[in-house]
Amino acid sequence: MTSPISRRSFLSRCALLAAAAPLSQLGGMPGSGSPGAALSGRGVRAHRRQGRDFLWGTAGSAYQMEGGNVASDVWVLEHMKPSIFVEPSGDADDVYHRFEGDLALAASLGFNAHRLSIEWSRIEPEPGQISLAELAYYRRVLEACHRHGLAPVVTFNHYTVPRWFAAAGGFETEAGIEPFVRYCETVTQHLGELITVAATFNEPNINALLSWSPAIQKMLPMIAAFRKAATQAGGSAQWSSPMLADFRVQQPILIQAHAKAYDAITRLSQGRFPVGVTLSLTDDRPADGSGGVERKRAQVLTPWLQAPGDFVGVQVYTSAVVGANAELPPTAGVELTQMGYPYAPEALEGVIRMVAQQTRRPIYVTENGIATEDDTRRIAFIRGAVDGMLKCIADGIDVRGYMHWSLLDNWEWTSGYRPKFGLVEVDRTTFARTPKPSANYLGQIARKGKIA
Ligand code: BGC
């Protein structure tokens, strides 16, 4: 059970298991000069023409970077013995204490936006018990973003949930909707004035997407065993970690939770910033005439486009050839990243064009990146991906931002610290940050709004 496995394959294993913001309007607020504020209609197009107000940033998540999120469901999973997580997250990148320096670094590299998530288990460690101290912490983080000229793109939920919420059945029961919406209300009331763009969920379609992976299909028995062990470790027969859930049960509930959270956030913020979801998408090509690509899209994209949203966040890492019921394994000899996916910078353009055909909603690239020890491959990847995105914009597609995953090397779920997604290296003993050449490369693109 301890063999190294990628997050994507872990999630897909788990997914299949059971199936055997506008600061410019806020005159006195810190950072009211942040770009991308209201981002509606004509304003955004003008922004884009001016180049600088397109959101160029990096993306991260609380659990993977902050460290010490002990009240979260994933903390339980990663400390199970045996666990499918190769190593625990521990202190992660200690972003919890080092955010000020990290944001200053991101700004100095040339970025004008930063995507981060709020850890629900910090805000509400026990049901209904709201931590004002942690809300104040995230206020300091968001204020620091603005002080450094970084527009905060805020995800309310990036995979992890409080232990008590998982123990009560998570999002595999409709009873999970109300606590999530209440949490979103709390965050909006306390922090909404500092948000530039908001996503309710990060990749709520991931379990559906990964159900198409043949590697996952082989791992069902192991996943079943891990889920069973998780109910014991979590101390509840109802235990449901979103990562372990059956997407057929969970996704319809996530859609309802998103729709209600969308209404609540929009109402409480008086619509000052756009609210949407971010979706994991691969650039799919048909293997044959069996209609697999269309069936996959009907599971991973269409239901989310039918839900409310002011934009679509696209998160793209690779491409896939899709047969009737599963993706085909990568062709022999093709270059693979550290995650085992085909190296495919062009996938971003393919996904943006596909999404733009399906919806008129604006698009943000909320994640795109590569796990590699070879930074020259990261630079080539960025060049190819950004070039494709700029072609889409030149063709009139309404793309409003590009956020690279990630600023820092970080804890990649079940794969631990091995995959290197960062533009900046993190020393695992001293936490010292060292920018890689790719950090300066993408920073230059961000400054100029084009590839040099
Ligand atoms: C997720 C991140 C993850 C990244 C790289 C994205 O799908 O949102 O949490 O680290 O992919 O695998």
Q: Which is more confidently placed, 317 or 22?
A: 317
Please tell me the distance between residue 420's alpha carbon and the centre of ligand 1 in angstroms.
12
Residue owning the nearest CA to atom 3 of ligand 1: 412
Structure tokens at 190: 């306390």
Calculate how far, in angstroms, residue 226's C-alpha sits from the geometric centre of ligand 1. 21
Q: What is the pLDDT of residue 122?
A: 98
How high is the pLDDT of residue 342? 97
Strands 399-405 and 55-59: parallel
Confidence of residue 451 (pLDDT cuts 50, 70, 90): confident
- Answer yes or no: is the C-beta of 207 below 6 A from any ligand 1 atom: no
280 CB under 6 A from ligand 1? Answer: yes
Cα 170 to Cα 244: distance, rounded to the nearest angstrom: 10
Q: Average of pLDDT values for 38-62?
A: 61
Averaged pLDDT, 12-37? 31
The DSSP letter of residue 19 is T
7 lines ligand 1 (CB under 6 A): yes
Ligand 1 atom with the smallest distance to the CA of 421 is: 5
Only one residue has tokens 């239901």, namely 303
Question: Residue 191: which of 123, 276, 279, 100 has the closest Cα?
Answer: 123
The rounded Å distance from CA 416 to ligand 1 centre is 12
- Does the beta carbon of 202 sit less than 6 angstroms from any atom of ligand 1? yes
* Residue 159 CA, closest ligand 1 atom number: 9
C-beta of 405 in contact with ligand 1 (< 6 A): yes
For residue 161, give both structure tokens.
């949930």
For ligand 1, whether the C-beta of 203 sits within 6 Å is: yes
Ligand 1 mean position to 61 CA, how many Å? Answer: 9
Q: Across the chain, which distance is largest between two alpha carbons, in Å? A: 58
Confidence of residue 452 (pLDDT cuts 50, 70, 90): confident
Which pLDDT score, from 0 to 100, does residue 218 have?
A: 86
Q: Separation of 277 CA from ligand 1 center, angstroms?
A: 14
- Determine the distance separating the centroid of ligand 1 and the alpha carbon of 317, expressed in angstroms: 9
**What is the rounded CA–CA span in Å between residue 436 and residue 451?**
18
* Residues ≥6 apart with Cβ < 8 Å to 152: 21, 34, 113, 114, 115, 116, 142, 145, 146, 194, 195, 196, 197
Cβ(117) – ligand 1 distance below 6 Å: no
Model confidence over 219-269: pLDDT tens digits? 878 888 998 999 999 999 999 999 999 999 999 999 999 999 999 999 999
For the stretch 97-127, pLDDT in tens is: 999 999 999 999 999 999 999 999 999 999 9
Shortest-distance atom of ligand 1 to CA 369: 5
The encoded tokens of residue 37 equal 């504020």
What tens digit of pLDDT does each residue of 245-256 get? Answer: 999 999 999 999
- Mean pLDDT, range 420-426, rounded to an integer: 98
Q: How confident is the model at residue 52 (pLDDT cuts 50, 70, 90)?
A: low
The response to whether residue 119 sits with its C-beta less than 6 Å from ligand 1 reads no
Number of H helices, E strands in the chain: 18, 10
What is the per-residue pLDDT for 29? 27
Pairing of strands 399-405, 363-368: parallel
Cα 173 to Cα 30: distance, rounded to the nearest angstrom: 40
Q: Comparing 378 with 11, which gets the higher pLDDT?
A: 378
Mutate to test the pocket of ligand 1, among 11, 367, 409, 423 (most ligand atoms within 8 A of CB): 367
- Ligand 1 centre to CA of 403 (Å) is 12
Distance CA 399, CA 356 (A): 9
Q: Under 8 Å CB-to-CB from 261, ≥6 apart: which residues?
A: 156, 180, 181, 184, 200
pLDDT in tens, 362-371: 999 999 999 9
What pLDDT score was predicted for residue 113?
98
372: pLDDT strictly greater than 80: yes
Percent of the chain past pLDDT 90, that is, above it, reads: 84
Is ligand 1 within 6 A of the CB of residue 315?
Answer: yes
Q: How far is the CA of 22 from the centre of ligand 1 (A)?
A: 27
User: Distance between CA 376 and CA 452 in Å, rounded?
Assistant: 16
CA nearest ligand 1 atom 10, residue: 412
Whether ligand 1 lies within 6 angstroms of the CB of 78 is answered as no
Among 63, 202, 209, 405, the mutation site with the greatest number of ligand 1 atoms within 8 A of its Cβ is: 405
* d(C-alpha 311, C-alpha 276), whole Å: 5
In angstroms, what is the span from residue 296 Cα to ligand 1's centroid?
A: 20
What is the 315 CA–ligand 1 centroid distance (Å)? 8
Q: What is the pLDDT of residue 69?
A: 98
| Residue 61 in contact with ligand 1 by CB distance below 6 A | yes
Q: Does the pLDDT value for residue 399 go beyond 90?
A: yes
